[in-house]
Chains A and B, each alone.
Chain A
Amino acid sequence: MSANINIKKTNRFIDPALYIAFGATGFVFLGLIASAFFGKVLFSRNVRVAEQEVVKIEALKLEPQLVGALRIDAKASIPNNHGVVYEIQLLDKQGKLIASATKNAWRESGIWYEDGESGTWNEDDLDAGLDVRAKKGEEVTVAISVLEYENLSGGKARSLTTFSVDDVIGNQANKPKATTNSVNFDVKITNGVVDGRHLWPGLFGTSALAIMTFIAAPRSGKKVISKTINDSDPSERATLGGADKLVRVRINVTSDETSPRSMQARLVINDSYGEQVYSKTIPLNLTFHREEGKLEKVTGFAQQFFILETQDSYGFHVEVTPDAPVDETTLTVLDGSHTRIPVEAVHIS
């Protein structure tokens, strides 16, 4: 029986799971990019709210929608070492409260001393936000309410004053009143906003799975031969192959400090009658492991892909040369393996 051998590059065995897993990551990434373009700003202004007061901001129609929700964001502007408890409220057409969400906002700073060094620190938490969805169309009014406003260092709470052009030219009527404490809020109302909080875990999760798929792809297939011997010539027989299966043969060698600069492995494949169908000497890819400049050991690796047209019993023989420094040789054969990239495969028919 004479074997017909030809070598060709093939992408037939690239694992389709790689495309799917990386595609899933790409899909979430696109979702993240696209989410930035959703949302229409309905209102963005500075609003002044006095303590114990409710200020209606904007009346709008809330409709059930397929994508996104109404997002109300507010940021309090308060002096240093002050705290404000404020609420985002939703009122119905009659002015009745139908939803409220509270934020404890604060701004503090001070001086720290440590080991003879000192500096200032500055911290705040002033942002509030509420996303709202409606099950049926409804007219709602967004309002901001200040429940509590205080000076955290114990004194009387101060208001941050704002001056308009009228103040500068001396219009008394527009001067901020000193008697009631009020807080300025930057309020922004956007409709159709996508909740990005769900996309980040999705992006990390799918990326992790794509990497796992990438790692697992070349390890796929049925391990029909896995033989390790403390010598240079492992040999084993197994039933494998078939026109649509990629056979991956791996040779791993460990050798001692007397190893030369280059080593080879002769790989021989015999058919079920013991007749040789393939023989090739493959150079080993060597890694020199040194410890404090001294050569400790050398590891070598070679890999070869085959498409064995007929499924049958095949014998695999490896001979590493030179064999004197070889401590251990492992022969691994994976049947029905997959690849990440197109590979050169030896087609034997």
Chain B
Amino acid sequence: MLTKVFAGIAVLMALWSVTDAYTQKSAFVLREEKQANFSPRRGTSLSGSYGSNGTWIFVPTRSTYSGFQGGGPGSGK
């Protein structure tokens, strides 16, 4: 009985992960107001969002960077 439960979950998990990967669930959807499933790649985050009339509006923080967060000891500006 327990093995059937494990196998069932494994099948659901397999279908779920393959579907999400192949349909690119986490991609940016062009002209979609709500980017609910978007997940940034390589630390590249959206710098705006769609307004009610479909125009791209920059986030207010876009021009005010808090500086670079470099690695290593005693570095940075």
Contact = CB atoms under 8 A, between A and B. Distances in A.
Contacts of B20: 195, 198
B4 interface: yes
B25 to A, nearest CB: 7
Interface in A63-107: 66-69, 73, 81, 83, 85, 87-88, 90, 96-104, 106
Interface in A148-189: 148, 150, 152-154
Interface in A267-313: none
Contacts of B24: 68-69, 131, 133, 193-195
Interface in A193-221: 193-199, 201-203, 205-206, 209-210, 212-213, 216-217, 219-220
A24 B47 contact: no
A28 B42 contact: no
A128 B74 contact: no
A141 interface: no
Contacts, number: 215
Contacts of B75: 81, 108, 110, 152
Given A83-B70, A216-B3, A130 B28 contact: yes
B47 A212 contact: no
Which of A31, A35, A194, A206 has the most chain B CB atoms closer than 10 A to its own CB?
A206
Which of A15, A98, A203 has the most chain B CB atoms closer than 10 A to its own CB?
A98
A15 B4 CA distance: 9
A282 B42 CA distance: 62
A244 interface: no
Which of B11, B20, B25, B44 has the most chain A CB atoms closer than 10 A to its own CB?
B44
A20 interface: yes
B42 A24 contact: no
Contacts of B47: 87, 100-102
A220 B21 CA distance: 34
A98 B31 contact: yes
Interface in B45-65: 45-48, 55-56, 58, 62-63, 65
A184 B61 CA distance: 25
Given A24-B13, A133-B27, A195-B20, 17 more contacts: A28-B14, A69-B27, A90-B30, A108-B72, A108-B76, A112-B72, A121-B73, A123-B70, A123-B72, A132-B29, A133-B29, A152-B75, A198-B18, A198-B26, A201-B17, A202-B14, A206-B10
Nearest first, the 4 A-B pairs at minimum CB distance are A202-B17, A17-B3, A131-B27, A69-B24
12 contacts: A18-B3, A21-B3, A28-B13, A102-B45, A104-B43, A108-B76, A125-B43, A131-B27, A195-B20, A201-B17, A209-B7, A220-B1
